[in-house]
Amino acid sequence: MKTFRIGGVHPAENKLSAGKAIETLALPKQAVFPLSQHIGAPATAIVKKGDVVKVGTKIAEAGGFVSAAIFSSVSGKVNKVDSVIDASGYRKPAIFIDVEGDEWEETIDRSKDLVKECNLTPEEIVAKIKNAGVVGMGGACFPTHVKLTPPPGCKAECVIINAVECEPYLTADHRLMLEKADEILVGVQILMKGAKVNKAYIGIENNKPDAIKLMTEKAAAYPGIEIVPLKVKYPQGGEKQLIDAVIGRQVPAPPAIPINVGAVVQNVGTAYAVYEAVQKNKPLFERVVTVTGKSLKNPSNFLTRMGTPMSQLIEAAGGLPEDTGKVIGGGPMMGKALVNTEVPICKGSSGVLIMNDKEARRAEPQPCIRCAKCVSVCPMGLEPYLLATCSAHGDWERVEHEMIMSCIECGSCQFTCPSHRPMLDYIRLGKGKVGGIIRARNAKK
Amino acid sequence: MSLILVAVISLGAIGLISAVILYVASKKFAVYEDPRIAQVAEVLPQANCGGCGFPGCSGFAAACVKAGSLEGKMCPVGGQPTMEKVASILGLEAAASEPKVAVVRCNGTCANRPKLTQYDGVRSCVVANSTFGGETGCTFGCLGCGDCISVCQFDAIHMNPETGLPEVDESKCTACGACSKACPRNIIEIRPKGKNNRRVYVQCVNKDKGAVARKACAAACIGCGKCVKVCPFEAITLENNLAYIDPAKCKSCRKCEMECPQQAIVAVNFPPRKPKADAPTAEKQTVGQAAIASAAKPVAVKNETVNMVSAPAAEAPKNTEA
Cα→Cα distances A428→A7, A383, A390, B38, Å: 19, 14, 12, 43
Predicted confidence (pLDDT) at residue A57 exceeds the cutoff of 80: yes
Mean pLDDT of B266-275: 84
**A242-281 residues touching B, CB cutoff 8 A:** none
d(CA A23, CA A17): 12
Predicted confidence (pLDDT) at residue A204 exceeds the cutoff of 70: yes
Assign domain A122-280 one CATH number from 3.40.50.2300, 3.60.15.10, 3.40.50.1360, 3.40.50.11540. 3.40.50.11540
User: pLDDT of A375-399, one tens digit each?
Assistant: 999 999 999 999 999 999 989 999 9
In this predicted structure, what is the pLDDT of residue B277? Answer: 54
- Cα B152–B153–B157 angle (5° rounding)? 40
Q: What are the residue ranges of CATH 2.40.50 in chain A?
A: 28-99
The letter for the amino acid at A231 is K
Say whether B131 and A428 touch across the interface (CB within 8 A).
Answer: yes
d(CA A183, CA A44): 31
In this predicted structure, what is the pLDDT of residue B276? Answer: 61
Say whether A85 and B133 touch across the interface (CB within 8 A).
Answer: yes
Predicted-assembly ipTM surpassing the 0.90 threshold: no
User: pLDDT of A135-183, one tens digit each?
Assistant: 999 888 899 999 998 888 888 999 999 999 999 999 999 999 999 999 9
Better-predicted residue by pLDDT, B263 or B67: B263
In this predicted structure, what is the pLDDT of residue A179? Answer: 93
CATH topology of domain A286-360: Ubiquitin-like (UB roll) (3.10.20)
What are the chain B neighbours of A358 within 8 Å (beta carbons)?
none
- Cβ of residue A395 closer than 8 Å to a chain B Cβ: no
What domains are defined for chain B? 36-90 (1.10.15), 100-321 (no CATH)
CATH topology of domain A28-99: OB fold (Dihydrolipoamide Acetyltransferase, E2P) (2.40.50)
Pick from A83, A339, A361: CB nearest B117? A339
d(CA A20, CA B131): 33
Mean pLDDT of B64-79: 82
Assess contact for A135 and A71: CB atoms under 8 A. no
Say whether B132 and A425 touch across the interface (CB within 8 A).
Answer: no
Say whether A429 and B130 touch across the interface (CB within 8 A).
Answer: yes
The letter for the amino acid at B111 is A
| Closest among B5, B306, B315 to B158, alpha carbons compared | B306
The letter for the amino acid at A44 is T
Test mutation, A80, A83, A90, A395, chain B, max B CBs within 10 A? A90
Cis peptide before A235 (omega within 30 of 0): yes
The per-residue pLDDT of chain B, averaged, comes to 82
Predicted confidence (pLDDT) at residue A190 exceeds the cutoff of 50: yes
The per-residue pLDDT of chain A, averaged, comes to 91
Predicted confidence (pLDDT) at residue B225 exceeds the cutoff of 80: yes
H or E element at residue B100: strand B100-104
Mean pLDDT of A252-264: 89
Q: What are the residue ranges of CATH 3.10.20.600 in chain A?
A: 286-360
d(CA A60, CA A45): 4
Better-predicted residue by pLDDT, A58 or B196: A58
Assess contact for A157 and A262: CB atoms under 8 A. yes
- Cβ of residue A89 closer than 8 Å to a chain B Cβ: yes
Task: Spell out the residues 6+ positions from residue A182 whose beta carbon is closer than 8 angstroms to its own.
Answer: A114, A218
In this predicted structure, what is the pLDDT of residue B312? Answer: 37
Chain-centroid distance of CA B86 in Å reads: 23
In this predicted structure, what is the pLDDT of residue A140? Answer: 83
H or E element at residue A288: strand A286-292
In this predicted structure, what is the pLDDT of residue B281? Answer: 46
| Residue B89, min C-alpha distance to chain A (Å) | 37
Predicted confidence (pLDDT) at residue B296 exceeds the cutoff of 70: no
Burial class of residue B4 (count of CB atoms within 10 Å of its CB; 0-12, 13-18, 19+): exposed
Mean pLDDT of A178-197: 93
Pick from B127, B139, B208: CB nearest A429? B127
What are the chain A neighbours of B131 within 8 Å (beta carbons)?
88, 425, 428
pLDDT band, residue A352 (cuts 50/70/90): very high
Predicted confidence (pLDDT) at residue B272 exceeds the cutoff of 90: no
pLDDT band, residue B321 (cuts 50/70/90): very low
d(CA B220, CA B107): 8
pLDDT band, residue B297 (cuts 50/70/90): very low
Q: Residue B137's closest chain A neighbor by CA?
A: A89
In this predicted structure, what is the pLDDT of residue B310? Answer: 35
Q: What are the residue ranges of CATH 3.40.50.11540 in chain A?
A: 122-280
Distance in Å from the first CA to the final CA of chain A: 47
Burial class of residue B23 (count of CB atoms within 10 Å of its CB; 0-12, 13-18, 19+): exposed
- Cβ of residue A91 closer than 8 Å to a chain B Cβ: yes
Question: In sequence order, what DSSP letters do the residues of A352-374 get, joined into one string?
Answer: EEEEEHHHHPPPPP-------HH
User: pLDDT of A93-145, one tens digit each?
Assistant: 999 999 998 889 888 888 888 888 888 899 999 999 999 999 999 888 899 99
Percent with pLDDT over 90 in chain B: 34
